[in-house]
Amino acid sequence: MDTLVRPDTYEIAALSAECGVDAVKYSREKGKPAFALTRPPGHHAGPDYGMGFCYFNNISIAAEHLLNTGDQSIAIVDFDVHHGNGTEDVFGNRADVLYISTHQAGIFPGTGSVDFLGNDDGKGFTINIPLPSGCGDSTFHSAYSKVITPIVRQFRPDAILVSFGVDGHYRDPLASLSLSSNGHLAMAKELLLLSKECGNRITFFLEGGYDVPALSEVVAATVGEFIGVEVPLEFTDITDKHCLGRSAVERCSKNASEYWSL
Ligand SMILES: [Zn+2]
Protein backbone atom coordinates (compact mmCIF):
# COMPACT_ATOMS: atom_id res chain seq x y z
CA MET A 1 0.00 0.00 0.00
CA ASP A 2 2.58 2.59 1.08
CA THR A 3 5.65 0.83 -0.34
CA LEU A 4 5.18 0.99 -4.09
CA VAL A 5 7.49 -0.79 -6.50
CA ARG A 6 8.45 0.80 -9.81
CA PRO A 7 10.92 -0.36 -12.45
CA ASP A 8 13.89 1.38 -10.80
CA THR A 9 12.90 0.76 -7.15
CA TYR A 10 15.32 -2.13 -6.65
CA GLU A 11 18.28 -0.14 -7.93
CA ILE A 12 17.45 2.93 -5.82
CA ALA A 13 16.81 0.91 -2.64
CA ALA A 14 20.08 -0.98 -3.19
CA LEU A 15 21.94 2.34 -3.56
CA SER A 16 20.43 3.51 -0.28
CA ALA A 17 21.60 0.36 1.51
CA GLU A 18 25.04 0.70 -0.08
CA CYS A 19 25.26 4.28 1.20
CA GLY A 20 24.83 2.92 4.74
CA VAL A 21 27.57 0.33 4.25
CA ASP A 22 29.91 3.02 2.86
CA ALA A 23 29.15 5.22 5.87
CA VAL A 24 30.00 2.56 8.48
CA LYS A 25 33.18 1.66 6.59
CA TYR A 26 34.18 5.34 6.57
CA SER A 27 33.49 5.66 10.29
CA ARG A 28 35.56 2.56 11.06
CA GLU A 29 38.48 3.56 8.83
CA LYS A 30 38.66 7.17 10.00
CA GLY A 31 37.48 6.83 13.61
CA LYS A 32 34.95 9.59 12.93
CA PRO A 33 31.17 9.93 12.99
CA ALA A 34 29.28 9.55 9.72
CA PHE A 35 25.77 10.35 8.52
CA ALA A 36 24.11 8.24 5.81
CA LEU A 37 21.61 10.57 4.14
CA THR A 38 19.66 7.68 2.71
CA ARG A 39 16.34 7.48 0.96
CA PRO A 40 14.38 5.24 0.98
CA PRO A 41 14.66 4.64 4.73
CA GLY A 42 14.97 1.13 6.14
CA HIS A 43 13.89 0.30 9.69
CA HIS A 44 10.46 -1.17 8.81
CA ALA A 45 11.91 -3.64 6.28
CA GLY A 46 12.44 -7.15 7.63
CA PRO A 47 14.45 -10.11 6.40
CA ASP A 48 11.90 -10.97 3.68
CA TYR A 49 9.47 -8.06 3.46
CA GLY A 50 9.26 -4.35 2.83
CA MET A 51 6.74 -2.01 4.44
CA GLY A 52 6.31 1.58 5.67
CA PHE A 53 8.31 3.22 2.82
CA CYS A 54 11.19 0.77 3.51
CA TYR A 55 12.56 -1.83 1.07
CA PHE A 56 15.91 -2.91 2.49
CA ASN A 57 16.80 -2.48 6.13
CA ASN A 58 19.78 -0.16 5.59
CA ILE A 59 20.93 -0.10 9.22
CA SER A 60 20.69 -3.89 9.65
CA ILE A 61 22.60 -4.50 6.43
CA ALA A 62 25.35 -2.14 7.61
CA ALA A 63 25.44 -3.80 11.07
CA GLU A 64 25.70 -7.22 9.44
CA HIS A 65 28.52 -5.95 7.25
CA LEU A 66 30.47 -4.80 10.34
CA LEU A 67 29.89 -8.11 12.12
CA ASN A 68 31.00 -10.07 9.05
CA THR A 69 34.21 -8.07 8.80
CA GLY A 70 35.64 -8.22 12.30
CA ASP A 71 33.33 -6.49 14.76
CA GLN A 72 31.86 -8.45 17.67
CA SER A 73 29.01 -6.26 18.86
CA ILE A 74 26.88 -3.42 17.52
CA ALA A 75 24.40 -1.18 19.36
CA ILE A 76 21.49 0.20 17.32
CA VAL A 77 19.61 3.13 18.86
CA ASP A 78 16.38 4.09 17.08
CA PHE A 79 14.62 7.37 17.92
CA ASP A 80 12.33 7.50 14.89
CA VAL A 81 8.76 8.03 16.19
CA HIS A 82 7.78 4.61 14.79
CA HIS A 83 9.02 1.30 16.15
CA GLY A 84 11.70 -0.30 13.97
CA ASN A 85 9.88 -3.60 13.64
CA GLY A 86 12.14 -4.70 10.78
CA THR A 87 15.34 -4.18 12.75
CA GLU A 88 13.83 -5.98 15.74
CA ASP A 89 12.86 -8.88 13.45
CA VAL A 90 16.39 -9.14 12.07
CA PHE A 91 18.22 -9.10 15.42
CA GLY A 92 15.60 -9.99 18.07
CA ASN A 93 17.08 -13.43 18.77
CA ARG A 94 20.74 -12.40 18.81
CA ALA A 95 23.10 -11.21 21.54
CA ASP A 96 25.65 -9.53 19.26
CA VAL A 97 23.32 -6.66 18.35
CA LEU A 98 21.64 -4.54 21.01
CA TYR A 99 18.51 -2.82 19.69
CA ILE A 100 16.95 0.05 21.67
CA SER A 101 13.90 1.89 20.35
CA THR A 102 11.95 4.87 21.64
CA HIS A 103 8.68 5.29 19.77
CA GLN A 104 5.13 6.56 20.11
CA ALA A 105 2.86 3.84 21.53
CA GLY A 106 -0.19 2.68 19.60
CA ILE A 107 0.70 3.93 16.11
CA PHE A 108 2.11 2.24 12.98
CA PRO A 109 3.42 -0.48 12.86
CA GLY A 110 1.83 -1.57 16.15
CA THR A 111 4.87 -3.48 17.45
CA GLY A 112 7.48 -2.53 20.07
CA SER A 113 5.90 -3.64 23.33
CA VAL A 114 7.80 -2.77 26.50
CA ASP A 115 7.39 -6.42 27.51
CA PHE A 116 9.31 -7.78 24.50
CA LEU A 117 13.00 -8.00 25.36
CA GLY A 118 14.14 -10.46 22.69
CA ASN A 119 13.94 -14.19 22.08
CA ASP A 120 16.31 -17.10 22.75
CA ASP A 121 19.96 -15.92 22.92
CA GLY A 122 18.73 -12.39 22.29
CA LYS A 123 16.85 -12.06 25.61
CA GLY A 124 17.70 -8.69 27.14
CA PHE A 125 19.20 -7.33 23.91
CA THR A 126 15.99 -5.69 22.65
CA ILE A 127 14.78 -2.71 24.68
CA ASN A 128 11.52 -1.04 23.70
CA ILE A 129 10.39 2.26 25.23
CA PRO A 130 6.89 3.02 23.91
CA LEU A 131 5.78 6.52 24.89
CA PRO A 132 2.35 8.18 25.05
CA SER A 133 1.52 11.02 22.66
CA GLY A 134 2.76 14.42 23.82
CA CYS A 135 6.09 13.16 25.17
CA GLY A 136 9.00 15.39 24.30
CA ASP A 137 12.36 16.69 25.44
CA SER A 138 12.16 15.98 29.18
CA THR A 139 10.82 12.45 28.66
CA PHE A 140 13.60 11.65 26.20
CA HIS A 141 16.17 13.12 28.57
CA SER A 142 14.88 10.75 31.23
CA ALA A 143 14.88 7.74 28.82
CA TYR A 144 18.52 8.41 27.89
CA SER A 145 19.80 9.06 31.40
CA LYS A 146 17.91 6.21 33.11
CA VAL A 147 17.89 3.48 30.44
CA ILE A 148 19.61 4.04 27.10
CA THR A 149 22.99 5.48 28.08
CA PRO A 150 23.65 3.02 30.95
CA ILE A 151 22.69 0.00 28.83
CA VAL A 152 24.79 1.02 25.81
CA ARG A 153 27.72 1.69 28.14
CA GLN A 154 27.42 -1.74 29.78
CA PHE A 155 27.06 -3.45 26.38
CA ARG A 156 30.39 -1.93 25.23
CA PRO A 157 29.68 -2.06 21.50
CA ASP A 158 32.37 -1.89 18.83
CA ALA A 159 30.19 0.72 17.07
CA ILE A 160 26.92 2.58 17.55
CA LEU A 161 24.43 2.90 14.69
CA VAL A 162 21.49 5.28 14.99
CA SER A 163 18.10 5.13 13.25
CA PHE A 164 17.74 8.90 13.01
CA GLY A 165 14.10 9.79 12.46
CA VAL A 166 12.81 13.32 12.95
CA ASP A 167 9.12 12.36 12.91
CA GLY A 168 8.97 12.65 16.71
CA HIS A 169 9.25 16.44 16.19
CA TYR A 170 6.29 18.57 17.30
CA ARG A 171 5.97 19.87 13.74
CA ASP A 172 5.70 16.42 12.19
CA PRO A 173 2.33 15.74 10.52
CA LEU A 174 2.38 11.93 10.87
CA ALA A 175 2.67 11.45 14.63
CA SER A 176 2.14 13.25 17.92
CA LEU A 177 5.23 13.27 20.08
CA SER A 178 6.55 16.74 20.91
CA LEU A 179 10.33 16.69 20.60
CA SER A 180 11.87 20.03 19.68
CA SER A 181 14.89 20.49 17.45
CA ASN A 182 16.95 20.98 20.64
CA GLY A 183 15.59 17.69 21.96
CA HIS A 184 16.75 15.87 18.83
CA LEU A 185 20.14 17.53 18.99
CA ALA A 186 20.48 16.57 22.67
CA MET A 187 20.04 12.90 21.74
CA ALA A 188 22.59 13.19 18.93
CA LYS A 189 25.07 14.85 21.32
CA GLU A 190 24.53 12.19 23.98
CA LEU A 191 25.15 9.41 21.43
CA LEU A 192 28.23 11.21 20.06
CA LEU A 193 29.55 11.43 23.61
CA LEU A 194 28.89 7.72 24.15
CA SER A 195 30.70 6.90 20.91
CA LYS A 196 33.92 8.32 22.37
CA GLU A 197 34.01 5.07 24.35
CA CYS A 198 34.17 3.08 21.10
CA GLY A 199 36.68 5.12 19.09
CA ASN A 200 34.14 7.65 17.73
CA ARG A 201 32.57 4.88 15.72
CA ILE A 202 29.02 6.12 15.24
CA THR A 203 26.92 6.26 12.09
CA PHE A 204 23.55 7.99 11.79
CA PHE A 205 21.03 6.66 9.27
CA LEU A 206 18.23 8.90 8.07
CA GLU A 207 14.85 7.26 8.69
CA GLY A 208 11.50 9.14 8.80
CA GLY A 209 10.74 12.85 9.12
CA TYR A 210 7.90 14.51 7.23
CA ASP A 211 8.25 18.17 8.12
CA VAL A 212 11.09 19.18 5.85
CA PRO A 213 12.14 22.41 7.64
CA ALA A 214 12.42 20.58 10.99
CA LEU A 215 14.17 17.60 9.39
CA SER A 216 16.64 19.93 7.68
CA GLU A 217 17.67 21.90 10.73
CA VAL A 218 18.02 18.83 12.96
CA VAL A 219 20.17 16.98 10.41
CA ALA A 220 22.29 20.08 9.72
CA ALA A 221 22.81 20.70 13.45
CA THR A 222 23.84 17.08 14.01
CA VAL A 223 26.36 17.13 11.18
CA GLY A 224 27.54 20.53 12.45
CA GLU A 225 28.21 18.87 15.80
CA PHE A 226 30.66 16.47 14.08
CA ILE A 227 32.87 19.39 13.09
CA GLY A 228 32.21 21.81 15.95
CA VAL A 229 29.92 24.16 14.01
CA GLU A 230 26.83 25.40 15.81
CA VAL A 231 23.76 25.59 13.56
CA PRO A 232 21.05 28.00 14.79
CA LEU A 233 17.74 26.23 15.50
CA GLU A 234 14.32 27.73 14.85
CA PHE A 235 11.90 25.08 16.14
CA THR A 236 12.63 25.04 19.85
CA ASP A 237 9.24 25.10 21.61
CA ILE A 238 9.17 23.01 24.76
CA THR A 239 5.79 21.48 25.63
CA ASP A 240 6.70 18.42 27.69
CA LYS A 241 7.97 20.27 30.74
CA HIS A 242 6.99 17.74 33.35
CA CYS A 243 8.17 14.45 31.86
CA LEU A 244 4.85 13.06 30.60
CA GLY A 245 6.44 9.69 29.90
CA ARG A 246 7.95 9.18 33.35
CA SER A 247 5.95 6.05 34.15
CA ALA A 248 6.60 4.57 30.68
CA VAL A 249 10.35 5.03 31.16
CA GLU A 250 10.15 3.57 34.67
CA ARG A 251 8.28 0.51 33.40
CA CYS A 252 10.93 -0.11 30.75
CA SER A 253 13.69 0.37 33.29
CA LYS A 254 12.06 -2.18 35.61
CA ASN A 255 11.83 -4.79 32.81
CA ALA A 256 15.34 -4.13 31.56
CA SER A 257 16.85 -4.27 35.03
CA GLU A 258 16.45 -8.04 34.89
CA TYR A 259 19.34 -7.99 32.38
CA TRP A 260 21.19 -4.71 33.03
CA SER A 261 22.22 -2.83 36.12
CA LEU A 262 20.06 0.30 36.14
ZN1 LIG B 1 9.00 6.96 11.32
- CATH code of the domain containing 217: 3.40.800.20
Residue 51 has a pLDDT of 96
Domain hosting 248: range is 33-256
Separation CA 36–CA 224 (nearest Å):
14
Instruction: Report yes or no on 143 lying in a domain.
Output: yes
* Active-site residue, selected from the candidate residues 43, 44, 65, 82: 44
User: How many other CB atoms sit within 10 Å of the CB of residue 150?
Assistant: 17
Instruction: Report yes or no on 168 lying in a domain.
Output: yes
Q: Say how many domains are in the chain.
A: 1
Ligand 1 centroid to residue 105 C-alpha, Å? 12
Instruction: Report yes or no on 136 lying in a domain.
Output: yes
Average pLDDT, the chain: 97
Instruction: Report yes or no on 93 lying in a domain.
Output: yes
Ligand 1 centroid to residue 78 C-alpha, Å? 10
Instruction: Report yes or no on 199 lying in a domain.
Output: yes
Residue 1 has a pLDDT of 74
Q: What is the pLDDT of residues 98-108, one digit of tens each?
A: 999 999 999 99
- The mean per-residue pLDDT over the stretch 168-195 comes to 98
pLDDT of 86 > 90? The answer is yes
> 100 pairs with which residues across the strands?
77, 127
Instruction: Report yes or no on 60 lying in a domain.
Output: yes
The verdict on whether 44 is a catalytic residue reads: yes
- The mean per-residue pLDDT over the stretch 163-192 comes to 98
Report DSSP letters for 86-119, one per residue.
HHHHHHTT-SSEEEEEEEETTSTT----TT---S
- The mean per-residue pLDDT over the stretch 222-250 comes to 96
Q: What is the pLDDT of residues 37-71, one digit of tens each?
A: 999 999 999 999 999 999 999 999 999 999 999 99
Instruction: Report yes or no on 154 lying in a domain.
Output: yes
Instruction: Report yes or no on 194 lying in a domain.
Output: yes
